[in-house]
Amino acid sequence: MQASLSPSIPRIVEELKLSRGLQSCITHVEHFPAQEARYAAFPGGLDPLVIEVFKKRGIGQLYTHQAEAIQQTLAGRNVVVVTPTASGKTLCYNIPVMNAVFASPDARALYLFPTKALAQDQMEELYQLIQLSGRDIKTFTYDGDTPQDSRRAIRAQGHVVVSNPDMLHAGILPHHTKWVQLFENLKYVVIDELHTYRGVFGSHLTNLLRRLKRICAFYGSKPQFVCCSATIANPKELATKLLEDDVELVDDNGAPRGEKYFVFYNPPVVNRQLGIRRSYVNETRSVALSFLKKGLQTLVFANSRLVTEILVTYLKDALEKNVLSRDLVRGYRGGYLPLERREVEKGLREGRILGVVATNALELGVDIGSLEVCVMAGYSGTIASTWQRAGRAGRRSGVSAAVLVASSAPLDQFIVEHPEYFFGQSPEHGLVNPDNLEILLNHVKCALFELPFSDGENFGTVETREMMKFLEENGFVHAAGGQWHWTSEAYPADAVSLRSVSSDNFVVLDVTAEPKIVSKVDFPSALTTVHEKAIYIHEGQQYFVEKLDYKERRAHVKRVDLDYFTDAISYTQVRILDTFDRQLLRSSTKQWGEIHLTTQVVGFKKIKFYTLENVGAGDLELPEQEMHTTSYWLTLPRSLMESLLYLPSIRLNGVRGLAEAMRQMAALFLMCDPRDLQVTIEENLVGETPGRAVSPAQKGRDLPRQIFEPNIFIYDNYPSGIGLSEPLFDLHDRVLQETARLIRSCPCQEGCPSCVGPQGETGDLGKRVALDILKAIL
Amino acid sequence: MNLAKKLAQQQLVKTRNEARMASQPKTVEARATPDKSQSLPATSLRSSLEKLRNRTRRLQRDQAPRAGNESGELPGALADLMQGNDGPSFLHQVSHSPLPLDGPQQVMHLARLIRLLCAQQWTGNPQSIVFLDTETTGLSGGAGTVAFLIGVGRWSGDGFVVEQYLMRDYHEERAMLVALQERLAHADGLVTFNGKAFDLPLLQSRFVLARQRWPLDGVVHLDLLHPARRIWQRRLGDCSLANLESHILGIGRQNDIPGRLIPQLYFRYVRTQDPEAIAGILRHNRWDIETLARLAVRMGEIFSGQSSDDLVPLDLYSAGKYAGALGEQELAVRWSEAALLGGLPDNVELEAKKAKASRLKRERRYTEAADLWQGLSESSEGFLEDVHEELAIYYEHRKRDLTEALRLSESALAQLRDQAAAQKWKNRRARVARKLARCCLAEPGRLFDRQS
């Protein structure tokens, strides 16, 4: 029924173009024609029962990429499948796995998903297939939520164990002796959403797989890897690096694709003098509504939880005005309880839910079927994830649309005003550096705990002898009988977390009547979303936070119905704790050492719905959040700054542009993800006169920042550092040279996201000032 | 830069970090007024760090584990064995225990205990029961935790012996496990303390790692920790083996090493091969095995019904409850009675009396039960709803004193705090009132009599 409505999509796009009269908001429409499906037969060598099971599910033939992936897998090769969302990737590994278990009931497979929610989803699908087969194939999820008393059965009997890297790291590998059946017979390891393993997370995964392969070798198995990835620039390279083995790339998508429109939408200017545009949130609302009103299933992506909830509220209100049920639109984000999420997913698949507003929680492969329209409230920050979000809309037949509504942030403005940049650029690269010393050493310790190292044994591609000697000096290992043994009471996996975010979270408790859990909020965002007097929004329902019980990790909230929401104001400060090395250069100083970052939520604003007026504010006394990490920093001396013949604010813009470009270059050289590094610029306090200290009265909001002698800090975005700062210190010269080349050769006029950042962030002269600074210090 | 240099620097960062984390308060006052030290050249920071490092070093020295200072006990032969290149590829030490553990009575009690607590059908030879305790390189479990010393207590032709299997270095583990495998192959039963959760899974993991067959499949396993808790936790709280040893068996150890130091002492031993470091652990393990055997025998005696007289009333009460749960009704009654006679703390006494009344009720000794409930109800300061309810049932259904049953319902409703439970009482009141009305119609005189 809905497919028949699809032809209205081009009409709606046309209407959007015309809706603002002469001043169109649509800056670009990219049209993708429909693509026919290409089919192939089931590869030879498959158990007839497997083919029968899929026939029962209505799958009588395969798409070409599926057939190829299965063929390669059956031929014993590692495979990485890179095709768009909803092209049937899971089938590429479920078929070989079922085939193996049918052939031998001892065969085992391990599925790794980056999040628990995804694992849950896969279970459903696999479970249905197994039921159709009538065979006794046992699949289990094994994660932090698995009850203790069922773990033993899973370890012994699970044919397919569905888990995540964190659990493999801390729960399975260190206890491999309890998993003998799995490791003796492990035939396939499936790694889905491979593109999420970039940068530090990916470096962890490589080391984790080194450990996994060691354990398998001990028990005499050598599993094959089947990986799936969303589109990134270098999937084969990334997979090869993660697996440290040859991988076959399968990326020729045979799945059909309906016609698609990709629309860039820039909200209209409301104040010509000041260049103020209409709020992108309000605009997203009306864009989404124009589709929803026509009965088109629409998914709205927002970049924050707050915006997600505001949009849920707006859309529910709007539906009500049109005499429709509020329940047709739902929210979906981290923090929703699992049952609620399942319900939304199911509602979407079954068409009971017309619209969903989500955060990136829906970006990964959660099965919601495919929708007709995707509206993005603001640019997500990367090309790859924008494509992935857009890919959520798009049926195998019929027309679909993706609309990017730009916010007034410079990056968004740049993207919508330069469509050729977005459509011409390849998505981001996935880089990893598994031999980062800090990461490597931690995993070597874990590996030692799991099995002694033979003298001269390699860990992946790394020689270990020198590391063993080092660990021996520090009392971690002891050599005996040609092997290195772990000699510490510690459980080393506990000392390494694969992610930068802690799993600690706050429970939001509705105490309007009988206390009831509304949702969970992860630690970092708790202080900004459920501080006292905050308006916490869940599924469009507002709650007033009465009490934040920091110790018990609980927020007590009551239902309210107000016309405003709150937005927290936080403040970050960097303090240098120690300098490990410093070097005076021609006219600047580079250093690396430890820094202390303090973030504090100091107050909040009350903002009225729709008009977004500021209708009040409040102060807050909340505990500081601290992070202790390592950083590289470059000091640009005052004399140099003053020699630049620009206004101080323009100089500072140049410094900002330089810092941003350096960060991108640094990520490239360190082979990490740009998000693994953070940049901040602060006044260099060395040698200052005491009178200029920041006074207590000045602290907090709206502190005027006058910077005379800037320090550019590029720090590891991980508690206690992850070993990026020292190499950056060593690579300083090359990074600066390449940064200069990058900025100079960038074809943009006044800055773009590929060099110093978009013009709106660094001003018209950002690019020039950055180059002047580089000239002075190189 | 070469790897070695990098590694060294890495370690420096780590130690500094840890030292700072450990000794610096987290509050950062420098937000308002920047800390002087941050704006000074790094030299002053260096020196303060150096101080910190010295402090942690001193701390480590103070906390360094020390072997038992009673060196005289180390037999010359042991020292020879440990240093010698020939001999077995691990240390195997047999010591005869001075304990009179092998009386035929005691062995019988132990067999009975196993039948009672583990396997009713057990027909093994009590002489072939082994007592097992391991010393390990940590408590976390997982493949990296090693049982480096395994003590096995058993009966031999000439008394109780403790055999100890020690790996003098890591490469001796497999040989040690093979020898242990042989020793355990003939065991008919196994006694441990917390072995279910700790020693056995750990050993099993070691056998998997050594690719050796696990010798204890199907062997009856009596883990004393849980039974001991059932009997003594109410009184002692802490039911560790050491605490039971001193409070229940009345033994005090001289110069024992604290268990938490054992991993460190062993690591020191493998590095230095200094027998001094290991002697204390060997002794500790032997004592643990002996205590384990004593405790098992003691519990055997208790459940044989003998020697329970010297249990204090609180333990008797706990033991009685436990016996009841195990289906030993006679013991349960005897001990509970004795406990009540001996005197119990108020809250336990209430619980004990309630339990006794329930038992009397089950045995259809309603009047005795009612007396107990009546007594409890009268002596209690607070309102005991469950007791009140028992009484109401008694008056309504057994004694058929409807007026009293009605009065009890009224009084319950008046005293009830939790209104959620009120409905039940209202139902009862209505029902009793209906019955009463019917009685009055049938026998008008009855109501009248009562009222007078």
* pLDDT tens digits, A423-466: 987 787 888 888 888 889 999 999 999 999 999 999 999 999 98
Burial call B396-424: b when 16+ CB within 10 Å, e when fewer? beeeeebebbbebbebbeeebeeeeeeee
Query: Which uninterrupted H or E stretch holds A356?
Result: strand A355-358
Under-50 pLDDT residues of chain B: 1, 19-78, 81, 84-88, 447-452
CA distances from A207 to A80, A336, A386, A434, B40 (A): 19, 32, 29, 6, 40
Best residue of B16, B38, B273 to probe chain A, by most A CBs closer than 10 Å:
B38
Which residue of chain B is at minimal alpha-carbon distance from A720? B17
What the block records as the tokens of B173 is 């583990």
Q: What is the mean pLDDT of chain A?
A: 87
Give how far the C-alpha of residue A446 lies from the chain's centroid of Cα atoms, to the nearest Å.
Answer: 26
The answer to whether B212 faces chain A, any CB pair under 8 Å, is no
Distance from CA of B442 to the nearest CA of A (A): 49
Q: What tens digit of pLDDT does each residue of A600-646 get?
A: 888 899 988 888 888 888 888 888 888 888 999 999 999 999 998 88
The answer to whether the beta carbons of residues B262 and B68 sit under 8 Å apart is: no
Find residues 171-190 of chain B whose CB sits inside 8 Å of chain A.
171
Match 């620039």 to its residue by tokens. A233
What the block records as the tokens of B137 is 């390189």
What the block records as the tokens of B187 is 């065991």
Residue type at position B374: Q
Q: In this complex, do B205 and A475 lie within 8 Å of one another by their Cβ atoms?
A: no
DSSP state of A376: E
- Considering only CB atoms, B28 lies closest to which of A466, A575, A723, namely A575
User: For residue A65, what pLDDT band results from cuts at 50, 70 and 90?
Assistant: very high
The string of DSSP letters for A584-598 reads E-SS-EEEEEEEEEE
Report angle CA B95, B98, B101 to the nearest 5 degrees.
105
Q: Is the pLDDT of residue A774 over 90?
A: yes
Q: What is the 3-state secondary structure (H, E, C) of A272-319?
A: CCCCEECCHHHHHHHHHHHHHCCCCCEEEEECCHHHHHHHHHHHHHHH
- Considering only CB atoms, A696 lies closest to which of B8, B9, B32, namely B32
Which of the four CATH numbers 3.30.499.10, 3.40.50.300, 3.40.50.2000, 3.40.630.10 does domain A3-31+257-424 have? 3.40.50.300
Strand spans (E) along A33-154? 39-40, 62-63, 79-82, 108-112, 139-141
Query: Which uninterrupted H or E stretch holds B131?
Result: strand B129-136
- Considering only CB atoms, A693 lies closest to which of B34, B170, B204, namely B34
Q: In this complex, do A630 and B13 lie within 8 Å of one another by their Cβ atoms?
A: yes
- Considering only CB atoms, A480 lies closest to which of B12, B140, B169, namely B169
Average pLDDT in the A113-137 region? 82
Which residue of chain A is at minimal alpha-carbon distance from B30? A575
The answer to whether B47 faces chain A, any CB pair under 8 Å, is no
Q: In this complex, do A475 and B31 lie within 8 Å of one another by their Cβ atoms?
A: no
Average pLDDT in the A91-100 region? 95
- Judging contacts by C-beta atoms under 8 Å, the chain A residues touching residue B267 are 475, 478, 487-488
Average pLDDT in the A359-384 region? 84
The answer to whether B414 faces chain A, any CB pair under 8 Å, is no
Burial call B310-322: b when 16+ CB within 10 Å, e when fewer? ebebbbbbbbbbb
Higher-confidence residue of A652 and B145: namely B145
DSSP β-ladder status, A400-405 and A260-265 = parallel
Query: Cβ atoms within 10 A of the Cβ of A222, count?
Result: 10
Alpha carbon distance B426, B319 (integer Å): 39
Q: What are phi and psi of A398, to 5 degrees?
A: 85, 175
Best residue of A484, A487, A683 to probe chain B, by most B CBs closer than 10 Å:
A487
Q: In this complex, do A687 and B1 lie within 8 Å of one another by their Cβ atoms?
A: no
Match 């996996």 to its residue by tokens. A493
**ipTM of model:** 0.78
pLDDT at B55: 35
Q: In this complex, do B143 and A489 lie within 8 Å of one another by their Cβ atoms?
A: no
Query: Which uninterrupted H or E stretch holds A482?
Result: none
Sheet holding A186-191, edge to edge: A139-141, A160-163, A108-112, A186-191, A224-229, A79-82, A248-250
Q: Is the pLDDT of residue A297 over 50?
A: yes
- Judging contacts by C-beta atoms under 8 Å, the chain B residues touching residue A483 are 170-171
Q: Is the pLDDT of residue A255 over 50?
A: yes
Q: What are phi and psi of A177, to 5 degrees?
A: -65, -15
pLDDT at B68: 37
The answer to whether the beta carbons of residues B213 and B165 sit under 8 Å apart is: no
Match 């050769």 to its residue by tokens. A745
Burial call A396-430: b when 16+ CB within 10 Å, e when fewer? bebbbbbbbbbbbbbbbbbbbebbebbeeeebbbb
What the block records as the tokens of B307 is 């020697």
Alpha carbon distance B212, B269 (integer Å): 26
User: For residue A20, what pLDDT band results from cuts at 50, 70 and 90?
Assistant: low
Match 């492990």 to its residue by tokens. A186
Alpha carbon distance A305, A318 (integer Å): 20
Residue type at position B247: H
Q: Is the pLDDT of residue A688 over 70?
A: no
pLDDT at A501: 60
Name beta bridge partners: A35: A257
Best residue of A458, A485, A627, A709 to probe chain B, by most B CBs closer than 10 Å:
A485
Distance from CA of B176 to the nearest CA of A (A): 15
pLDDT at A274: 65
- Considering only CB atoms, A441 lies closest to which of B10, B144, B171, namely B10
Q: What tens digit of pLDDT does each residue of A732-766 get?
A: 998 999 899 888 887 777 788 778 887 777 778 88
Would you put residue A671 in left (φ > 0), alpha (ψ -120 to 50) or beta?
Answer: left
- The count of CB pairs under 8 A between chains A and B is 134
Distance from CA of A599 to the nearest CA of B (A): 11
- Considering only CB atoms, B45 lies closest to which of A174, A177, A578, namely A578
- Judging contacts by C-beta atoms under 8 Å, the chain B residues touching residue A488 are 138, 267
- Judging contacts by C-beta atoms under 8 Å, the chain B residues touching residue A176 are 143
pLDDT at A218: 97
The string of DSSP letters for A709-774 reads SEEEEEEESSTT--S-HHHHHHHHHHHHHHHHHHHHH---SS--TTTT--HHHH-TTHHHHHHHHH
Q: Is the pLDDT of residue A21 over 80?
A: no
Q: In this complex, do B271 and A579 lie within 8 Å of one another by their Cβ atoms?
A: no
What the block records as the tokens of A120 is 């849950």
Which CATH superfamily includes the segment(s) B80-303?
Answer: Ribonuclease H-like superfamily/Ribonuclease H (3.30.420.10)
The answer to whether B291 faces chain A, any CB pair under 8 Å, is no
Q: Is the pLDDT of residue A1 over 70?
A: no
Average pLDDT in the A78-102 region? 91
- Judging contacts by C-beta atoms under 8 Å, the chain A residues touching residue B138 are 488-491
Alpha carbon distance B85, A405 (integer Å): 79
CA atoms within 13 A on the CB side of A276: 6
What the block records as the tokens of A561 is 């119905």
Domain boundaries along the sequence of chain B: 80-303, 312-363, 382-452
Distance from CA of B414 to the nearest CA of A (A): 26
Higher-confidence residue of A93 and B309: namely A93
**Domain A39-250, architecture per CATH:** 3-Layer(aba) Sandwich (3.40)
- Judging contacts by C-beta atoms under 8 Å, the chain A residues touching residue B208 are 177, 180
Alpha carbon distance A755, A775 (integer Å): 16
Q: What is the pTM of this model?
A: 0.81
Q: In this complex, do B140 and A696 lie within 8 Å of one another by their Cβ atoms?
A: no
The answer to whether B210 faces chain A, any CB pair under 8 Å, is no
If we measure between CA atoms, which residue out of B296, B145, B277 comes closest to residue A174?
Answer: B145
pLDDT at B14: 55
Widest CA span in chain A: 84
B260 contact partners, CB below 8 Å, separation of at least 6 = none
Helix (H, G, I), strand (E, B) or coil at A628: strand
pLDDT at A244: 96
- Considering only CB atoms, B143 lies closest to which of A174, A437, A582, namely A174
Alpha carbon distance A144, A706 (integer Å): 48
Burial call A20-58: b when 16+ CB within 10 Å, e when fewer? eeeeebbbbbeeeeeeeeeebebbeebbeebbebbeeee
Q: In this complex, do B171 and A480 lie within 8 Å of one another by their Cβ atoms?
A: yes
Find residues 364-403 of chain B whose CB sits inside 8 Å of chain A.
none
- Judging contacts by C-beta atoms under 8 Å, the chain A residues touching residue B139 are 489
The answer to whether B205 faces chain A, any CB pair under 8 Å, is yes
Widest CA span in chain B: 110
A264 contact partners, CB below 8 Å, separation of at least 6 = A26, A27, A28, A29, A403, A404, A406, A415, A416, A419, A422
What the block records as the tokens of B269 is 């031993």
If we measure between CA atoms, which residue out of A176, A175, A174, A194 comes closest to residue A184?
Answer: A176
Distance from CA of B140 to the nearest CA of A (A): 6
Find residues 253-272 of chain B whose CB sits inside 8 Å of chain A.
263-264, 267, 270-271
Q: What tens digit of pLDDT does each residue of B438-448 get?
A: 877 766 555 44
Higher-confidence residue of A701 and B291: namely B291
Q: In this complex, do A489 and B264 lie within 8 Å of one another by their Cβ atoms?
A: yes
Average pLDDT in the A377-389 region? 88
If we measure between CA atoms, which residue out of B320, B315, B298 comes closest to residue B307?
Answer: B298
pLDDT at B180: 93
What the block records as the tokens of B205 is 């993991």
Query: Cβ atoms within 10 A of the Cβ of B77, count?
Result: 10
Q: In this complex, do B7 and A466 lie within 8 Å of one another by their Cβ atoms?
A: yes
Alpha carbon distance A430, B337 (integer Å): 75
- Judging contacts by C-beta atoms under 8 Å, the chain A residues touching residue B197 are none
What the block records as the tokens of B115 is 């039948």
Query: Which uninterrupted H or E stretch holds B110?
Result: helix B104-117
The answer to whether the beta carbons of residues A333 and A308 sit under 8 Å apart is: yes
Distance from CA of A707 to the nearest CA of B (A): 16
Highest-confidence segment of A18-22, A449-453, A564-568: A449-453
- Considering only CB atoms, B26 lies closest to which of A483, A491, A626, namely A626
Domain A575-596+629-684+702-777 has CATH 3.30.1360: yes
CA distances from B75 to A102, B79, B96, B262 (A): 62, 7, 14, 20
